[in-house]
Structure 1
Amino acid sequence: MKIKEIMTTDLIFLDPKMTIKQVAQIFMENHIDGAPVINNEKKLIGVLTKSHIFKLVSEALSFDTLVEDLMIKEVTFSSPEEEIEYLLKYSNVGRLPVVENDEVVGWCTRTDLVKAFFESHNEMVHELQTIMDSTHNLIVAIDEFGTIKTFNKSAQNVLGISAEDIKGKNIKDVFPNSELLKVVATGEAQTLQKIELNNRWFISNRSPVNKDGKIIGAVAVLQDISEVELISQELKSVRELNRELDAIIDSSFDGLYITDGNGQILRLNKAIERISGLNSEDFSRKEDDGLVEDEVVSKSVTDEVLKQKKLVTIIQQTKAGKTALATGSPIFGEDGEIVRVVANVRDITELNELKQKLEQAEEINKHYQNQLKAYKGPKHGYDDIIYSSHKMKEVLNLVSALGEVDSTILITGESGVGKEIIAEALYKTSNRSNGPFIKVNCGAIPDNLLESELFGYESGAFTGAKRGGKIGLFELANNGMIFLDEIGELSLRLQVKLLRVLQNKEIVRVGGNTSIPINMRIITATNRNLEKMVEESTFREDLYYRLNVIPIHIPPLRERKEDIPILVTHFVEEFNNKYNKNKYFSPEALDSLQNYSWPGNVRELENYIERLLVITPGNRITLRDLPSSIGNRVELPFSNVSIDGLPPLKEAVETVEKCLIEQAYKKFRTTRKMAQALQVNASTISRKATKYKINLGSD
């Protein structure tokens, strides 16, 4: 800064012939304490200040003393172009005249200098604050005691805190996790620290502030890298998508390659090697029309797309001796020019072979279905029952005969044999078919809940009971039929109540005392041995005889294997329609299914057929598609014993022995009768049972 920028130019000049009295009057009227003295030529000859007047008074001199007698004649002056630092050389001079071309043009005092420095300081502070507020980075500074001194606008905007509210406070009170105090304490800078503030990521650089070798504070500069992080994530996503695209292209059975607008090959998949007979490295170094020149293909689909500027499909003959269907799709840029061509090459030689195989398979399937339909026996009006065996025919003949009576029926059989279907057939053929048909699975409902479901309840009968009560399933079955499945799971308490229903033809709701007459037919079913349960006192004998008025036993599937082919045909048709498939079993696979024992019976067979139709890749289900537990199973002709695969002979013999003893015990219950049936000694039975850990109980 130059002196001319701070000097006073509105000057009052003194004449050397003026008296001190006159000068005092001038000083008082103009509120000044000094002035330059000039001659007639306006040249500086001296300086007079109020200090001279004070001296005159203290020495008791006359106020008529002339200026020239009291003024300072050897005057130090400055040029207006001098820097203000020039004034510092004359710190003992209170006022400095400014002279240019021998003429006084200004007057500079210490007050002017202080004012200049103050304004300069304020301007520098303002510029510094403006710079910090203009920067995109967050800036926070503290002194050596942790007091916040600087908090720029970026920090205010990001952190949502006003500088006025935070300056002067200790940083621990505002940012408890700040590391700035640690920087002050250690004097060590912390650089490139990644931190998160208000869901945004920053790189923080923290540095100590040194002055004359002493740490007087610390400053943190935080650079927002959220956008960089976002770009990094986007680039990562792009790379992932690119890898996925490469994987998708390479997994295609059809050949795929992409060229630019000049026919230069940019990307291709592995299927191109198989179809073209050319190594992919050689392929990628060529232009598409170069493939024609090298007789790799007979015609270029890309060349045709670039000429016609539209989707093109052609037939190609490849170097590998294959016939291919090639389709080229143009991709246009913003200027309407083709920037990419995507070519799809399909080996129609293989398609023709597959077509022939499919036609052959369909002919075999048609012939096979016609043969199976010949096995499909009459349904006797029961649409849900598929059978051809004599045993099932006897069961259904019995069902038809029972339609005219109202007797209680007990249906027995293993799980999955179709007890519920037989119960529905009894309902459809009965004189109650116009009434309701209620199904109840006694094993699927908790005992306390089952009672209220069957008998209903009155309002307030128990906590949570519906206001107004509820009608039970027995009442809903009035004038119709109720089917109680898994009757063997019924508790003894409910067995007593069911016995009363059978005897009295009436029920009493839970929480009530009024008998309600009912007219219904009861059909029950179980896969358990109720006779044994009666012996074990887990099922009431009187209830058993009430339920077992007319028994119907449904034989397991292993005892009526002639039903298996027709059931397979039925399920194949059903699931083909359901899943829009066209699958069928080979004769070998069907034979294997028929030879399997099917411990889960018809339900297991149905579920297994559905699984095979869903997971088998081809339309023809062969022996190889069956698991070893079915495909390698050997059935013994004299029992339901089966052996998986080909185990060692000793192991197979022991397996058969164990199964025979178990079956004999189930049938005869005594060692003596078992020995007679198996034509061995009773001691042999006991020894074998001990060997195979079979509990024969007490004879």
Structure 2
Amino acid sequence: MIRITVVAPDRELGRLFSEAFEEHDEQIHPADPKQEIYELEVLIEHNHDRIRQLQIEGDVVVARGHTAQILLENENSVPVVKLPVTGNDIIRCLKECGELFPERRPIIMGTRNIVFQVENLYDLFGRGLTPVLLTEQTPREIAAMFELMADPETSVMIGGRMVCEHAQQQGIPHVMLRSGRLAVWQTITEAKRVAWISRVEQEKATRYKSVLDCATEGILVVDRKGRLSIMNATCEEMLGIQADKSIGKEISELFGESDLHGFILRSGSLRDEILLFKGQSFAANKDTVVHKAEKIGTVITLRRVREIQETEVNIREKMHRKGHTARHTFKDIIGVGKTIQATMEKARSFSSVDSNVLIYGGTGTGKELFAQSIHNNSSRRKGPFVAINCAAISESLLESELFGYVRGAFTGASRGGKPGLFELAHRGTVFLDEVSEMSLRLQGRLLRVLQEKELMRLGDDKIIPVDIRIISAVNRDLKTLVDAGKFREDLFYRLDVLNLDLPSLESRREDIPFLSRYFIQSLGEKNGPRKTLEKSALEYLQGRSWRGNIRELMNACERLYVLSETDRIDENEARRILGAEESPGVSSVLPGSSIDDETLRTLLEEEGYRKDRVAERLGIHRSTLWRRIKKLNPPRN
């Protein structure tokens, strides 16, 4: 139902509207194809102060003269239709005036519309008519015009209620200028048209507002005069401002001297500006609304920086669940010996902190397995785990993989650019295997990431903050490379906050039977026929040399599984498949106690001064090797 509210100065006009509306409502309105139901509400009020306080709830309000002007100035969202004074109304009033006061000069006071109507009637009534334009329609203006134009002895005043009331106070004859039935009929027709259009626009606005309120961004629109015109529910919640109490107010009143106020006043379109408002940080965008080459407003969108960061984390977590994930935990590390158990306990302790870790270990000792286990046991386990072998690819490719690039950064760069592994590993862990093979130039860039927690893509000048933990792995003595000038000392200390020495397989021979059984069992579960290792085969494997450590043992077990002709593999079958090597291979050098200084120095240089590797080749414990090194002449520091 559409409501039309009439504010009438007296009951007579109210009655006229009620009668005309009842008859008019039976007519088919061509502008209203849906034939909406209309209702009429009549309010009798002529006091200007009370009119200003009226709360109009209808779809359109009808009033005349100064009352209509007051309602328009109220900035009420309800459209106002003015009740006009027609030429017929003026003629009827002049006729009444001539009959009552034939000897007096009529003076008609009113709006510009009334003045125009009077001027058109000069041909009928002569120039004895005196029209007086009221621009403000206030008591003060009317009093001034009376003093200037009216003569109590010769004049008769014609006008609205205020003119007639002032004439009565001055003792001057007067006639009320009233709107007739034709004017009322035309006004009802116009009111229905305006109300129907208003209802359609309101429905559009409601749908539009519903769409805006569904947006996760805060949206506000400022008109060309710097007043707030639209604010969605998200923006209300973000800024702590109620839209119904703020729409129409100037932004300087709403936002004061804040970052947001300054941002709105800046010219042109702006992107990703960081603003502070009421203790919260927002990422803001701004666009100009242009209609027919004229600026009619500004649209501002806001997002909480904290929510952007949380969204970024969630997206990265989902991305890396599909790819960059750590599959292994400490449960996947097999071993019962004291050496491996102590190493695992130390690695577990590294999981409880966020410091960088440097893992020392020979080929095949399980460096990435330990790195994944540390990650999955840490507070970063829900984040990505990104691994890359620094020795496997060229320097230029390694740089683009680690740091990413933007479009046009180099020939062959992807059109959309590409995020680097550091960027993708945000809130997670990066595993740099064989970090010792990284060039000095890339070492400098890596150092900046560790120090500043930020990076720049290749070809870009934008800083991207990253939160990553670095776990590095080497099979050479980094300190020796630092001394030789092949590795940056400052980067070494950044990476070597915590260090973990992984034991070689030959230093934990007690675990070889357990590992061998596990590998054979896993192959059986995966491929079908189950096979087992006899005790003699296990002893044979335990006595062999495993320079390739666990990886070599795993490959040997796979060969045994595939090539064995029986389900129970004994020593003879193992020898046939793996060859006739008998001993751990330490016979190629003298026992540690009898080795000469020159040979020991040669071994140390060959193994990059990795004492665990030298101890393996000598078949002695590292503490024994350490005591032997102290006896070198000259001694080695």
Coarse TM-score class (shorter-chain normalised): 0.3 to 0.5
TM-score relative to the length of structure 1: 0.39
TM-score relative to the length of structure 2: 0.42
